[in-house]
Structure 1
């Protein structure tokens, strides 16, 4: 089992990150803020104006530490990848997967996403009572799950997923405390850039979670850029985006809703640019990242392994299970769905 290591998120604008012997050092305005051994870190995530020394870049590549760069909004820029790990036969199996195998994996992932979204709505229903729009959305998602499991081509599957996502997000605002909806209005998904605080939060969490999944895929020897559901596109980790679908509802969406409904974030924690783009202020971004790290440290029962595991380990478990399926050790890929 892979040990859960800490991810290092650097949000201080103007920070300088460099190598000192076997450690990572973070400085700001020539003052040392932090120093920690590289063996205690699995990934370094830099947001906005963060300078990383060439020596540290090489050190991260040598040690297999994921080094990724994002805008202040959380939009992914790029990632440093060291020597490819894993078995070339595994990647060959990934590259040469036939249409039926691609469809089966994509169906599993999308069905898991839709079940996860339905569980988020059912959770709200249990806690807050029946709501006609949410009840309708729950039934629509249940029907979409059945359709997704039986569709025979990827285009139809993508259409089912898109329709179900529109239904899910049409009631997402109802999951926000009624007293807070004035500060956190939500009329649907928008991105690149996000134009309201809720979308800013969702996009940010999806982005950092996607990088965790990319690192996990690299760790077992899979190519994150060659997916089964998302079409290949230069610069996009399509396979990571595939697996991200099953994590969105139960990990990312619930985290965002918790931060809002528990009043851990306020409307004043967001900055609206002249262009209309909305981003988190520095302190709010730090608070979100702390909450994300704390969530990763929580223990849950993995539905396939039937073992208690840390949430932060689950991307690595799912990458391992996908690799086993592609090698032929597992008949099907078992996605992770948590209630």
Structure 2
């Protein structure tokens, strides 16, 4: 089983990464400011425009250390990929499956089933833990609506119909997301999902969490030999890791959304952690990103029992185990892909 190692986040915009022996070196104005041993790292995500040396990119690709480049605001730019991992037969099977609408729908509906299941469980968990502080009727109504969609998702045979059911479920879920926010409503009021740019503090954190989760899913898929750019639910688009977006659908409610709710409800983030732009966009400030990433790393180290494998694993390993299960299904070792059903 793959081990969960550290992720190195480079937040300063003027840091240039290079390689020195067995170390990643952070440089500013040609001066070394920090060193990090390569053998302790699983991923490197840099939010700096300065970039990285070809030597470092080469060794990361060779050792399967994920290296991703993002803008200082968190927009994904590129990933470094080496030679394809795994055998060619797995990827040929993936590509053939991606060209078959029936098989695409079969895999996609299990992932959407997992997403709706986990979204409903997130609502139910709030009802269970904070029943006296929330509008129980709203939460019950949304939970019942999502529950009713689960049986429909199982029977779907057309991708367009599946996307429609997913949209209905997402609408019901986000309609009560504000109810699950228990503290500082003035700063963390949520009126609906907004992207490119996020228009409030909650959406700023959701977008940042989704970017991090997408990176982890892409790295996990590549590590088991799959092509993260060829998806089944999200169709091919140049530069988009469509399969990573597929895989993260079922993980959004439990790994990203719930994490954001925990930061807010435990008062680990505050109004000063955000930048409010004249355009109306709301972005995480430098201090806010540091706080966010600190707790993100801590969350990834917490353990849970995987519902399908029945093994104790760190949260950070869940994208990898799901990628592994997907690869086993495509190889024919499993009759169906088992989605991650949070309990």
Query: Shared fold (TM-score greater than 0.5)?
Result: yes
How far the C-alpha of 1:48 sits from its partner, in A, is 4.0
| Residue correspondence of structure 1 range 250-289 to structure 2 within 5 A | 250-289=254-293
How far the C-alpha of 1:181 sits from its partner, in A, is 1.1
Q: Does residue 148 in structure 1 map to residue 150 in structure 2?
A: no
Which residue is 1:317 aligned to? Answer: 321
Which residue is 1:161 aligned to? Answer: 166
How far the C-alpha of 1:280 sits from its partner, in A, is 0.7
Which residue is 1:109 aligned to? Answer: 111
Q: Does residue 230 in structure 1 map to residue 248 in structure 2?
A: no
Aligned pairs, how many? 338
Which residue is 1:45 aligned to? Answer: 45
**Structure 1 stretches of 5 or more lacking a match?**
none
Which residue is 2:303 aligned to? Answer: 299
Q: Does residue 218 in structure 1 map to residue 214 in structure 2?
A: no
How far the C-alpha of 1:49 sits from its partner, in A, is 3.3
Q: Which moved more, 1:65-74 or 1:161-170?
A: 65-74
Question: Quick one: which of 121, 124, 132 aligns to 2:123?
Answer: 121
| Residue correspondence of structure 1 range 140-219 to structure 2 within 5 A | 140-177=145-182, 179-219=183-223
CA RMSD of aligned residues (A): 1.3
SS at match of 2:68: strand
**Quick one: distance in 2 between partners of 1:253 and 1:33?**
34
Q: Which moved more, 1:161-170 or 1:20-29?
A: 20-29
**Quick one: distance in 2 between partners of 1:50 and 1:157?**
42
**Quick one: distance in 2 between partners of 1:276 and 1:293?**
30
- Residues 160-195 of structure 1: per-residue CA shift (max 9 Å, x gap): 001110111111011111x41111121111111111
How far the C-alpha of 1:58 sits from its partner, in A, is 2.1
Q: Which moved more, 1:45-54 or 1:119-128?
A: 45-54
**Quick one: distance in 2 between partners of 1:163 and 1:219?**
33
**Quick one: distance in 1 between partners of 2:204 and 2:48?**
15
**Residue pair 1:12, 1:50 contacting (<8 A) in 2 also:** no
SS at match of 2:44: strand
The TM-score with structure 1 as length reference comes to: 0.96
Change (3 A) 1:277 1:48: farther
**Quick one: distance in 2 between partners of 1:143 and 1:5?**
40
**Residue pair 2:15, 2:48 contacting (<8 A) in 1 also:** no
**Structure 2 stretches of 5 or more lacking a match?**
none
The TM-score with structure 2 as length reference comes to: 0.95
Which residue is 2:57 aligned to? Answer: 57
How far the C-alpha of 1:273 sits from its partner, in A, is 2.1
How far the C-alpha of 1:116 sits from its partner, in A, is 0.3
How far the C-alpha of 1:29 sits from its partner, in A, is 4.6
**Quick one: distance in 1 between partners of 2:292 and 2:127?**
26
Q: Which moved more, 1:273-282 or 1:189-198?
A: 273-282
SS at match of 2:275: strand
How far the C-alpha of 1:50 sits from its partner, in A, is 4.1
**Quick one: distance in 2 between partners of 1:6 and 1:85?**
21
